[in-house]
Amino acid sequence: MMNRFGFLFSYRVGVADINYGGHVANSAVLNIFQDARIAFLASLGPYSEVDLGGCGVIMPEAHVYYRQEMFMGDELVVGLRVSELKRSSFCLDYRIERQGQVTAEGQTVLVCFDYKSVNHAECRWSSKQRLMVLRTLELFVLGGGGVNDAGHDRCPRPRACVFDNG
């Protein structure tokens, strides 16, 4: 259910997304997640994956669950929400739907990273951005957490979400 996601992103499947089997390639789903993530970060302010207000992010872990094939020209809606927020890392959940039907779900772990010192860094969110991020986290908690509609855990808690002590 997309009402459990605090950020929605529209995506039209293009020719570059299609593999030899005539449907969306596995790797393209991660690219769709990335496009939604870039739009989400931009919605929080002048942020990108390389600049979150003094640091960038790296993605040490990703999970994708394929539910249905997607095809050239499909109009998709990608839901994104924060499922865990720590001092130097956060987890994002994704859901892709086509005409109300789930086609893929997933999760990525993002670690704030200082490319100058080549080390993880503290996420520096302003109060307004933190409230917006926490709002997507609130929708996650109210929506039942990391459990998919079948009642199964999406995935084990990613190890990378505990890189810091907070």
Task: Output b/e per residue, 25-49; b: 16+ Cβ within 10 A.
Answer: eeebbbebbeebbebbbeebeebee
**What was the pLDDT predicted at 125?**
63
**What was the pLDDT predicted at 122?**
80
**What was the pLDDT predicted at 155?**
34
**What was the pLDDT predicted at 74?**
98
Domains of the chain: 2-144+154-162 (3.10.129.10)
pLDDT tens, residue order, the chain (166 aa): 788 898 899 999 999 999 999 999 999 999 999 999 999 888 877 888 888 777 888 999 999 999 999 999 999 999 999 888 888 888 999 999 999 999 999 999 999 888 888 888 887 666 456 656 666 665 555 554 443 443 333 333 333 322 222 3
**What was the pLDDT predicted at 17?**
98
Q: In the chain, where does DSSP find H-type helix?
A: 26-43, 127-142
Task: Output b/e per residue, 83-116; b: 16+ Cβ within 10 A.
Answer: bbbbebbbbbbbbbbbeeebbbbbbbbbbbbeee
**What was the pLDDT predicted at 130?**
64
**What was the pLDDT predicted at 152?**
34
Rounded CA-CA distance 123/138 in Å is 19
User: In terms of pTM, does the model score above 0.85?
Assistant: no
